[in-house]
């Protein structure tokens, strides 16, 4: 399949091939900012010693993005220390997810990444203790409407986001990595068994390499909001490149996906990492995973929709339309139809009441 061309994707794939003219630089900076990938691009240029060769005007924006991501790194480190302190004595394993995990485990996707909140995974049985310990440490729930509380607690895979009353940082506490009501079911205890302790933080864990990729893939390809889809795909690609250097990693990834029943998201992840970033995946793994891909004509429709939705340009009509279509699909995958109908009805009425829905 043809590799997709786009100025930001090209520059991320091969930072030595950044634009030569002003118009293309403007597009690159603008799309990088829109996709939340300006820091990543700046980091990749800087790592290869190419940042100083960038014309002064776009370079100022890249440097500004680096300033922001360094500050965020420090903030995430600080926040993780506070969370460890708050949860000391709970006796349950604490697994860092996504951005904070990449940063603390010193994995490549952390380089230049933007962080919005910290995500942790704890066993479902430990949720009440974890929640009250976090509240004692100053974290308060952000969704006060009873419907929202029920929505998260009964149907989702996480508590309503918690925010620290003083530091204003946001913490998402998950008990599994997919919604409880979704099409994909997954036994979280499996994830805890495979998780890996951090060398510098014995009290913290991260998901096993394959699970980390699968979590990111499930998150991206089951999600209803693909506004930052490209950023997630950049994470996945960086993880695959990093772990893929280990012998047999891809084969283990595929068998783990089969075990956890998340072959479809893995199929999309490998397909789009290859299509956008020229990712090299062993032939036999592609074949094995492809058996779980969609059949035509759905396969063609999904290729088009995801391809368009992942483009970092919301001004493009095809990207906007594809994101809307996938928004509906994301909800469809998230909950059974009667529940979905109920959920959307409640939201519609609340919007009418003038409340944030």
Q: Report d(CA 289, CA 282) in Å as an integer.
A: 11
- When asked if residue 189 is in the footprint of other proteins (CB under 8 A), the reply is no
Neighbours of 144 (CB within 10 A): 9
- When asked if residue 324 is in the footprint of other proteins (CB under 8 A), the reply is no
- When asked if residue 256 is in the footprint of other proteins (CB under 8 A), the reply is no
Three-class SS state of 2: coil
312 and 34 Cβ atoms separated by less than 8 Å: yes
Q: Nearest CA to 191 among 267, 263, 93, 90?
A: 93
Binding to other proteins, residues 281-320 (CB under 8 A): 314-315
- When asked if residue 74 is in the footprint of other proteins (CB under 8 A), the reply is yes
Q: Nearest CA to 270 among 247, 252, 248, 293?
A: 293
Binding to other proteins, residues 146-185 (CB under 8 A): none
Task: Report, in Å, the least distance between residue 184 CB and other proteins.
Answer: 32
Nearer residue to other proteins within complex by CB, 30 or 292: 30
Neighbours of 224 (CB within 10 A): 14
Helices marked H in the chain = 7-13, 22-35, 38-47, 56-87, 98-104, 127-136, 146-150, 188-194, 209-222, 229-243, 249-260, 263-277, 283-290, 298-309, 317-334, 337-352
CB hemisphere CA count around 58 (13 angstroms): 27
Nearer residue to other proteins within complex by CB, 160 or 229: 229
- When asked if residue 329 is in the footprint of other proteins (CB under 8 A), the reply is no
Q: Report d(CA 77, CA 100) in Å as an integer.
A: 8
Instruction: With CB under 8 A as the rule, give the number of residues binding other proteins.
Output: 21
**With CB under 8 A as the contact rule, which of the stretches 20-28, 93-101, 161-169, 185-193 interacts with other proteins?**
20-28
95 and 192 Cβ atoms separated by less than 8 Å: yes
Task: Report, in Å, the least distance between residue 89 CB and other proteins.
Answer: 31
Task: Report, in Å, the least distance between residue 349 CB and other proteins.
Answer: 22
Per-residue mark of binding to other proteins, 51-70 (x: CB under 8 A) = ----x-xx-xx-xxx-xx-x
**With CB under 8 A as the contact rule, which of the stretches 18-26, 217-225, 242-250, 340-348 interacts with other proteins?**
18-26
Contacts of 179 (CB under 8 A, 6+ apart): 155, 156, 157, 334, 335
Nearer residue to other proteins within complex by CB, 160 or 312: 312
Q: Report d(CA 209, CA 182) in Å as an integer.
A: 24
Task: Report, in Å, the least distance between residue 195 CB and other proteins.
Answer: 32
Binding to other proteins, residues 99-138 (CB under 8 A): none
Nearer residue to other proteins within complex by CB, 62 or 254: 62
Pairing of strands 118-121, 170-174: parallel
Task: Report, in Å, the least distance between residue 142 CB and other proteins.
Answer: 21
Nearer residue to other proteins within complex by CB, 65 or 254: 65
- When asked if residue 140 is in the footprint of other proteins (CB under 8 A), the reply is no
- When asked if residue 143 is in the footprint of other proteins (CB under 8 A), the reply is no
Binding to other proteins, residues 28-47 (CB under 8 A): 30, 33-34
Task: Report, in Å, the least distance between residue 34 CB and other proteins.
Answer: 6
Nearer residue to other proteins within complex by CB, 35 or 239: 35
Nearer residue to other proteins within complex by CB, 39 or 293: 39
Per-residue DSSP letters for 65-96? HHHHHHHHHHHHHHHHHHHHHHHTTS-S-EEE
- When asked if residue 13 is in the footprint of other proteins (CB under 8 A), the reply is no
**With CB under 8 A as the contact rule, which of the stretches 26-34, 100-108, 130-138, 273-281 interacts with other proteins?**
26-34
Q: Report d(CA 202, CA 153) in Å as an integer.
A: 29
Residues engaged in binding other proteins (CB under 8 A): 22, 25-26, 30, 33-34, 55, 57-58, 60-61, 63-65, 67-68, 70-71, 74, 314-315
């Amino acid at each position: 399949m043809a590799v997709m061309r786009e100025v930001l994707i090209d520059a991320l794939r091969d930072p030595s091939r950044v634009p030569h003219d002003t118009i293309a630089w403007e597009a690159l900076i603008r799309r990088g900012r829109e996709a939340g990938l300006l820091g990543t691009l700046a980091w990749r240029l800087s790592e290869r010693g190419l940042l100083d060769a960038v014309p002064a005007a776009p370079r100022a924006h890249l440097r500004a993005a680096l300033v922001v991501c360094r500050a965020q790194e420090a903030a995430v480190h600080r926040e993780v220390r506070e969370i460890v302190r708050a949860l000391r004595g709970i006796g349950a394993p604490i697994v860092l997810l996504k951005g904070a995990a990449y940063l603390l485990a010193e994995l490549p996707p952390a380089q230049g990444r933007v962080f919005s909140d910290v995500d942790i995974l704890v066993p479902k049985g430990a949720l009440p203790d974890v929640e009250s310990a976090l509240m004692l440490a100053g974290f308060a729930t952000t969704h006060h409407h009873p419907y929202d509380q029920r929505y998260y607690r009964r149907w989702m895979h996480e508590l309503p986001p918690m925010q620290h009353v003083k530091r204003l940082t946001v913490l998402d506490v998950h008990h599994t990595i997919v919604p409880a009501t979704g099409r994909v079911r997954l036994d979280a205890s499996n994830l805890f068994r495979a998780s890996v302790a951090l060398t510098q933080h014995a009290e913290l864990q991260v998901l096993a390499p394959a699970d980390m990729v699968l979590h990111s893939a499930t998150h991206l390809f089951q999600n209803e909001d693909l506004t930052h889809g490209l950023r997630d795909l950049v994470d996945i690609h960086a993880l695959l490149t990093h772990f893929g250097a280990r012998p047999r990693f891809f084969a283990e990834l595929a068998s783990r996906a089969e075990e956890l029943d998340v072959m479809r998201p893995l199929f999309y992840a490998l397909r789009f990492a290859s299509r956008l970033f020229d990712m090299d995946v062993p032939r036999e793994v592609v074949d094995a995973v492809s058996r779980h891909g969609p059949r035509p004509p759905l396969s063609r429709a999904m290729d088009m929709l995801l391809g368009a939705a992942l483009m970092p340009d919301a001004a493009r009509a095809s990207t906007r339309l594809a994101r809307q279509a996938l928004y509906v699909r994301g909800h469809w995958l998230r909950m059974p139809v009667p529940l979905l109908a109920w959920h959307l009805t409640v939201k519609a009425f609340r919007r009418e009441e003038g409340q944030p829905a």
